Structure 1
Amino acid sequence: MFYIYCDESCHLENDKNDLMVLGAITCPESLKAKVNQDIRYLKTSFGLSSWFEVKWTKVSAGKIDFYKRLINYFFENEFLTFRGVVATGKDQLDHDTFNNGDYDLWYYKMYFRLLDPITPSVNKYRIFIDIKDTRGGAKVRKLQEVLCNHKHDFNHEVITDIKQIHSNESEIMQLCDLLIGALSFYHRGLYFQDNCSQAKRILVDEIKKLSKLSLNESTPLWESKFNLFIWEPREGTKVGVML
């Protein structure tokens, strides 16, 4: 059994961002408790409360050594894997033509691209998604239906469960928030601004160094440690563009 922790950034339809970032960290069930305990220990070893919630928005110069150590912890433990989807052109999509006028349908398509490649039917999975809004319950039920139907997993023997949790309930979820925050910071162009947070730029550089990736391009599917998919809309799916 594998546990998968998912988080999202810039996921709202009208948030004035031109991209959405989704991320998922996979951890064997047998090691889940150890990872959460290890991260809580890291917090206290840097003078933070064990209940301190790791968030990209909290990254600062004063805590940069802690956050760098946390990024290194992820890359040091090969049983932890990450897949990120950066969906670009979000503000240009023609949902009326291609998604039955429903932004949420596109949202499910992106979550499918995030999760389907990392949930082969040879294993079993429980998936946890960070609570974002009150409509999330219906969303996760639909997501499980879509994933399971594609795998012919009609009895939910592969994708056994998808549920929402608060990020403060799981250190692994908090680590996922950190990784997708870095991807969002980089792909929204904030990384390249002269007045950007230097602490956040340092963390992005640490991820680039340890992953040996530029973060600009998709990785091969077989790249399991830090897998990245950059989704771009086809020209015909944009508003105002004829097929």
Structure 2
Amino acid sequence: MSEIKKTFNLYCDESTHLQYDEKPFMVISYIKCAYPQIKQHKAYIKLLKEKHNFYGEMKWSKISKSNAEFYNDVIDYFFATDLSFRAIVVDKNQIDESREGFTYNDFYFRMYYQLIAHKMHSKHFYNLYLDIKDTRSQQKLVGLKEILNNKSNVRNIQFIKSYESYLMQIADVMMGAINYHIRGLNKVTAKNRVIEKMQTNAKINLKKSTPKEAEKFNLFYIDLS
């Protein structure tokens, strides 16, 4: 009997990825969710929001003392489920555009390929959802389709608004925590608590790569030096 193919949604986001934003790191990430479980996760997160009287979109930039318990509950929920997270971190100072035929834009798409393709299984199907951020989004969509064109198990790549997806919002929070931590921005106690919650649950140091085979929480620091 042939194995049943499963379908997963990848909710992708990026942080301080622009070339001239004067931020030291490019971080790109996704939350992976089995397609049949999407409604279940949405319903539970909605309950958490009601419990904490939290309104609006979950974002790393919005974490404060008044809503810290809500965000900690969201992190606990992530680690209690089959959801998984993967992120790639690059020190942008190491990106060398002096190489012939190499541009920052090329590198950006290569990192997206690294993020997505290397944890895919040929026996499954994938839908990719990306946060639409700016007027270059259509160009990005074309670039990603081109670089992933050899992946026949990618069924769909499209942009959505982050407020439309709780799971994409969780990606923003977890990715933001990594970026904040590695930049040494430790002034907001509520954010530090979320970082501690993530490190405790994942049993890792957010400043280091996880083992390549890590599935639940996979973090990869790319060294270009």
TM range (shorter): over 0.9
- Write the distance in 1 (CA, Å) between the matches of 2:139 and 2:39: 28
Deviation at 1:148, TM superposition (A): 2.8
Q: 2:16 is matched with which residue: 2, 10, 13?
A: 10
Tell me if the contact between 1:17 and 1:91 (Cα under 8 Å) persists in the aligned partners.
Answer: no
Q: What is the root-mean-square deviation of aligned Cα atoms in Å?
A: 1.3
Query: CA-to-partner distance for each residue in 1:44-89, whole Å, 9 max, x for gaps?
Result: 111123xx10000000011010000000000000x1000011111x
Q: Which residue of 2 aligns with 1:218?
A: 209
Deviation of the 1:92 alpha carbon: 4.1
Query: Which residue in 1 is equivalent to 2:96?
Result: 94
Secondary structure (helix, strand or coil) at the match of 1:83 reads strand
Q: Which runs of 5+ in 1 are unaligned?
A: 235-243
In structure 1, distance between residues paired with 2:180 and 2:169: 16
Distance 1:45 1:217 in 2: 34
Q: Which residue of 2 aligns with 1:130?
A: 131
Could you tell me which of 144, 155, 171 is aligned with 2:166?
171
One-letter amino acid of the counterpart of residue 108, structure 1:
F
Quick check: 1:16–1:91 contact (8 Å CA) kept in 2? no
SS at 1:148's partner residue? coil
User: What is the identity, as a one-letter code, of the residue corresponding to 2:174?
Assistant: L
Distance 1:53 1:224 in 2: 27
Alignment counterpart, residue 74 of structure 1, candidates 78, 96, 108 = 78
Q: What's the offset of the Cα at 1:106?
A: 0.7
Structure 1 residue 112: Cα displacement:
1.0
- Match runs of 1:1-243 below 5 Å: 1-49=7-55, 52-77=56-81, 79-88=82-91, 90-97=92-99, 100-149=101-150, 151=151, 153=152, 158-191=153-186, 196-234=187-225
Contact 1:141 1:162 in 2 (8 A): no
TM-score (norm 1): 0.87
Aligned residues: 219
2:12 and 2:31 in contact (8 A); partners too: yes
- More off after superposition, 215-224 vs 22-31: 215-224
CA distance, structure 2, for counterparts of residue 216 and residue 136 of structure 1: 30
* Matched-pair identity in %: 36
- For the Cα contact (< 8 Å) 2:95–2:104, is it kept in 1? no
The aligned amino acid for 1:4 is L
Q: Which of structure 1's runs of 4+ aligned residues deviate more than 2 A?
A: none
Once the two structures are TM-superposed, the CA of residue 101 in structure 1 deviates from its matched residue by 4.8
- Distance in 1, matches of 2:214 and 2:223, equals 20
3-state DSSP of counterpart to 2:121:
coil
Which residue is 1:239 aligned to?
Answer: none
> Deviations for 1:8-63, whole angstroms, at most 9, x for unmatched residues?
000110011111111111001100111112111111111123xx100000000110
Secondary structure of the structure 1 residue equivalent to 2:145 = helix
> 2:4 corresponds to which residue?
none
User: Which letter does structure 1 place at the counterpart of 2:61?
Assistant: T
Report the TM-score, using the length of structure 2 for normalisation. Answer: 0.93
CA–CA separation in structure 2 for the residues paired with 1:33 and 1:137 = 28
Query: Which amino acid counterpart does residue 162 of structure 2 have in structure 1?
Result: S
